[in-house]
Amino acid sequence: MNLYDLSAVEALEGLNKGNFSAVEYVEELLTQAKSSSALNAFSYLPNDLILEEAKSSDEFRRCSGSTGLLCGLPIAIKDNINVAHQPTSAGTPGLKNHFPARDAPVVSTLRAAGAIVFGRTNMHELAYGLTSNNLTYGAVKNPFDPTRVAGGSSGGSAAAVAARMVPCALGTDTGGSVRVPAAFCGLAGFRPTLGRYCGEAIVPISHSRDTVGPMTRNVEDIVLLDQILSGHIQKPTPACLTDLRIGVPRNYFFNDIDPQVANVIEEALAQLQKLGVTLIEADINGLTDCNPLVGRPISSGEVLKDLPAYLEKYAPNISVEDVVSQVASPDVKEIISYQFAPKNRQQILKAYNIAISSLKPALLQNYQHYFDRNQLDAIALPTALVVAPPIGEDASMELNGRRVPTTPTLVHNSGPSSIIGLPGLTLPVGMTSSGLPVGLELDAPAGQDIRLLSIGLAVEKCFYKPAGVRHNKPAGVRHNKPAGVRRNKPAGVRRS
């Protein structure tokens, strides 16, 4: 058994039983990270510091009669979440020398449970995109096909977990930045209800949309991290499939979908129905153009206050002008220069006020009516309309024979629910004929995180072999295939 192949729960079980030490585990992961370094998943990986933390974890385990729930578990942290005395650059040159004095609360919570911080993961600059093609730190490459993106903005977190460099990672999600890269890299990714996890000390875009989210290789590991990050000890059990009513809103979420993605999703839905899930074919009103008319104005209006406030509190020697003027990635430069240009401020705030006061409440009401009218436990939709596009297509990409704008296309499906703060869970449900992962997203009403994770535990079993079989194996590692679906192993992973 390769230690790098263990899930978080499996790793903790091995550590608790004394089958291996934290140092042995971390050493193998660091070797794996070195062999997969071409994927460019990390912007900062301090080997010596990680090994020191592992040694401290082993010593604590030897000397203490009890340990934290995550004692010895390595977790990678996205580079926009403050980690004490480590660079928090958010992937942008203006913050390259930003070394916070304290951990963000989500990081200190993980440390208090015994987790080991395993480096900083590469990302789309300032979290302003879905490709993680970062001009300063380089593009993050997809482990299933290194010519393609890993998704964004949490692309480094997704690539690191998928390529077995670490069992789990934290990302952040404004409009899809956890769920999209998780889907592109064959992972489980969870966006909690807004406010379930503390959002302090994280380089922001939008306080009413940003949230931390875990990325793992199965839902059981999501459940574990959610318990720690939320402080809720309630542990969900798999839902009964025959009791589930899941909505399938085809209008909007299935419009203009890549045929290969559609095939995988339709097979997944058919499998759920075959196993007793009641699928309700019904549409949600008012989704057309909600991302550009509601989501984007809210993010643009709130970043004007949120980014300067973060800098004032955590990086007082760095001005917002310093950050904006040094942005390197062309796609990010265009957006953020527009947002912070004084001549545009009045127009941005006018659009923000309309979106936040009337359009967002209307969108929330449409979702609530949809859930209530159809008596639904969750909604099912393709996490993204497409598979991971080729690296370099940041402005436009190909979809069904024509060029379309990249960011609006990649955030099309994941955006609406994030505008109103709903929890969303993406699960890998199969592969295209070209060997690229496809994710199915499940959304639930706000506050129904435990119920959503319960559904996720049950649904996951529909596509994989029973518990104890490791999921989504990297290339060259023996793995188990979902029935009837060809699986490829991510590139850049050592053969066993």
- pLDDT tens column, 175-206: 999 999 999 999 999 999 999 999 999 999 99
Q: How confident is the model over 321-357, as pLDDT tens digits? A: 999 999 999 999 999 999 999 999 999 999 999 999 9
Q: Give the E-state strand segments of 223-368 in sequence order.
A: 245-248, 278-281
Q: How many CB atoms lie within 10 A of CB 341?
A: 11
Radius of gyration from C-alpha coordinates of the chain: 21
pLDDT score, position 64? 83
Instruction: Return mean pLDDT, the chain.
Output: 93
Q: How far apart are CA 341 and CA 415, in angstroms?
A: 25
Nearest-angstrom CA–CA distance, 12 and 14: 5
Q: Do residues 91 and 126 lie in contact, with contact meaning Cβ atoms separated by under 8 Å?
A: yes
Could you tell me whether strands 42-44 and 74-78 are parallel, antiparallel, or unpaired per DSSP bridges?
A: unpaired
The answer to whether residue 26 scores a pLDDT higher than 50 is yes
Q: Could you give the CA distance from residue 392 to residue 394 in angstroms, rounded to a whole number? A: 6
pLDDT at residue 65, rounded to an integer: 67
User: Quick one: pLDDT at residue 490?
Assistant: 54
Could you tell me which of 208, 203, 202 has the C-alpha nearest to residue 323?
203
pLDDT computed for residue 470 by the predictor: 38
Q: Which of 334, 360, 348, 354 is nearest to 415 (CA)?
A: 360
Active site residues: 78, 153, 177
| DSSP output for 329-385 | SHHHHHHHHHHH-GGGHHHHHHHHHHIIIIIHHHHHHHHHHHHHHHT-SEEEEES-S
3-class DSSP state for residue 121?
Answer: strand
| For the chain, counts of helices (H) and of strands (E) | 18, 17
Residue 484 lies in a domain: no
Which residues lie below 8 Å from residue 71, measured CB to CB, with a gap of 6+?
Answer: 12, 15, 16, 22, 57, 60, 61, 113, 114, 115
In eight-state DSSP terms, residue 466 is S
- My answer on whether omega of the bond before 153 falls inside 30° of 0, hence cis, is yes
- Given its phi and psi angles, is residue 482 left (phi above 0), alpha (psi -120 to 50 degrees) or beta? beta
- pLDDT tens-digit map of 363-421: 999 999 999 999 999 999 999 999 999 999 999 999 999 999 999 999 999 999 999 99
Chain centroid to CA 106: how far?
A: 15
Q: What pLDDT was estimated at residue 493?
A: 45
What's the rounded mean pLDDT across residues 72-85? 98
Q: Judge whether residue 471 has pLDDT over 70.
A: no
Query: What is the number of alpha carbons within 13 Å of residue 52 lying toward its C-beta?
Result: 5
What does pTM read for this prediction? 0.94
The residue with greater pLDDT, 270 or 489, is: 270
Q: Which residue blocks in 18-85 are alpha helix, DSSP H? A: 22-35, 47-63
pLDDT score for 486: 35
Secondary structure, 3-state, 383-402: CCCCCCCECCCCCEEEECCE
Residue 371's nearest CA partner among 440, 298, 423 is 423
Q: Residue 242: which domain range?
A: 3-460
Query: Residue 271 has what DSSP assignment?
Result: H
The answer as to whether 485 is a domain residue is no
Residue 201: count of CB within 10 angstroms of its CB: 22
Q: Could you give the CA distance from residue 101 to residue 85 in angstroms, rounded to a whole number?
A: 6
Q: Provide the pLDDT for residue 1.
A: 72
CATH number at residue 378: 3.90.1300.10
The secondary structure of residue 202, as a DSSP letter, is B
pLDDT at 483 over 60: no
Tell me whether residue 482 is in a domain.
no
Tokens of 273: 């129905």
Per-residue pLDDT tens over the stretch 205-219: 999 999 999 999 999
Residue 233 has pLDDT above 80, yes or no: yes
Question: Considering the domain boundaries, does residue 217 fall inside one?
Answer: yes
Mean pLDDT of 459-469: 65
Each residue's pLDDT tens digit, 305-330: 999 999 999 999 999 999 999 999 99
Per-residue pLDDT band at 266 (split at 50, 70, 90): very high
Supply the DSSP string of 204-223, one letter for each residue: -S-TTT-EEEEEESSHHHHH
How far apart, in whole angstroms, are the C-alpha atoms of residue 222 and residue 448? 15
pLDDT at position 481 over 60: no
Considering the domain boundaries, does residue 227 fall inside one? yes
* Rounded distance between C-alpha atoms, residue 39 and residue 139, angstroms: 8
Q: Could you give the number of structural domains in the chain?
A: 1
Mean pLDDT to the nearest integer, 75-104: 98
| Burial (CB count <10 Å: 0-12, 13-18, 19+), residue 245 | middle
Assigned domain for 491 exists: no
Answer yes or no: is 474 within a domain.
no
Is residue 43 situated within a structural domain?
Answer: yes
Burial class (CB in 10 A: 0-12, 13-18, 19+), 70: buried
* Confidence at residue 280, expressed as pLDDT on a 0 to 100 scale: 98
Confidence class for position 464, pLDDT limits 50, 70, 90: low
Residue 18, exposed/middle/buried by CB under 10 A (0-12, 13-18, 19+)? Answer: exposed
DSSP 3-state of 97: coil
Structure tokens at 434: 């070209």
